[in-house]
Structure 1
Amino acid sequence: MSVGLPSVIAATTQWLMRAYPPASGTLSAVLAEAQARQAATVAAWLRYPTALDASLVTLVGPGGATRLDWLVGGFTGESDAEDEQAWRTWVDEVVASWAASLLTEPALAAAAVAALSGSEHMGSSPVDFRRLTDPDTYDRDAAALLRHPDLVRPVADLHREQLVERLQADAVGAD
C-alpha cells in the first residue's frame, strides 16, 4: 500500500462504521468493517493514484471529518479525549463520499475496481474487493445501514459527480 494512505483508509473506514453502524453481533461488525475498508481503499487509491499523491496528502493532511459529522448529525467535537479527535483529522471527505457511492451502487463499485487495474497501488499482488463488488447475503445484512442508498445519500452526493467523471476519464483513456 502506498505511503500515507493507510491512515486515511483506516480513519475513513472508522468514520463510516461510526456513522452507519453494523447490525448487532461480532460477525456483522467484522463483515461491515471489511466492506467499509474495501470501499475506502478503492476510493483512496482512485483519489490518490500515485505514490507522490499519497505522500502529498500525508504532508498536508486530508481535511478531517467536521463537515461529514455535521451532515450525518454525528460527532459534535465536545469530547475531551485527544485520541478521539486525532483520528478524525485523517478522515478524507472525498474518500468517504466516494466510498459511500461505491457501497450503494454496485456498477460504480465494479467500474472503480476495474479502473485500478494496472495502478501503482495494485502492484504485482492480487487484491480482492469481492465484499465490495459482490457482497453476499451476510455482507448485505451486516452492513444494511452502510449500504442503504437513502441513508448515505447526503455523504455520497457530496463528491459523487467527481467520482463518475474520474471513472469516465479512465474508461476513455483505456480505449
Structure 2
Amino acid sequence: MSADLSSVIAATAQWLLRAYPPERGALSAALAEAQCRQAATVAAWLRYPTALDAGLLGVVGPGGSGRLDWVAGVDVVPGEDTAWRTWVDEVVASWAACLLADRSLAVAAAATVSGSVHAAGLAPDFRRLTDPDVRDRQAAVLLRHPDLLSPVADLHRDDLLDRLGEGTARAA
C-alpha cells in the first residue's frame, strides 16, 4: 500500500491558510504556507503512522472540510472549485492547529515523527513549525494565535496529547 499522504497534507494546509489568512504580500504568503505544510505534514504522519494506515486513508478518504468550515466560520466562495476540500482531514487539521499554537507540542510531535516510516531516508526539517523566527510569526499571526485556533484545535487535542504520550501529563 502507498504511504503517500501528499493530497491530504496539501488540502489540509490549504484549508488552514484560507481559514487563517497570512499577512499581505508574497513573502508572507510563502512563509505562512511553509508553516501550514510543515504542521499538516507532522500531523498527518502522526495520524497515519504506517503505510497501511496511509493506504487505508486512500481507500476510505479523509472526510472533507464540512465540519471544520462550520466550526471555524469559513465561508465557501460561491462558484469556487471545492473538490480539493474533500481531501481535508479534520483530525489532521485539528492536530496541525494544535502544533501551530503550541511550540512545545510542535517540538514533541516533530521529534516523534522524525523516526517514522514516512521520514525514512529523509532529513525532515520542521524549523518553521518548531522554531519560527520573527518574520515567520509576523506572516502567520492568525495561524499562530491560540485563541483563534482553539475551536479547531480543541476538536481533537486530547487524541493528539494521547498520541504524544502527554495526555495524562498535561491533565495533572
- Tell me which amino acid in the other structure corresponds to 2:63: G
CA distance in 2, matches of 1:100, 1:163: 11
- Tell me which amino acid in the other structure corresponds to 1:107: S
User: Greater shift after overlay, 25-34 or 66-75?
Assistant: 66-75
Where do 1:18-97 residues align within 5 Å?
A: 18-76=18-76, 79-81=78-80, 84-97=81-94
In structure 1, the gaps of 5 or more residues are: 170-175
CA distance in 1, matches of 2:74, 2:82: 13
Matching residue of 1:5: 5
TM-superposition CA deviations, 1:110-130 (whole Å, max 9, x none): 000111132101112201000
Q: Normalized against structure 2, the TM-score is what?
A: 0.92
CA distance in 2, matches of 1:36, 1:117: 18
Matching residue of 2:157: 160
The RMSD of aligned alpha carbons is: 1.3
Matching residue of 1:123: 120
8 Å CA contact 2:3–2:50 kept in 1: the answer is no
Deviation >6 Å, runs of 4+:
none
Q: Normalized against structure 1, the TM-score is what?
A: 0.91
| Identical-pair percentage | 67
Matching residue of 1:135: 132
Within the candidate set 106, 110, 114, 1:109 is matched to: 106
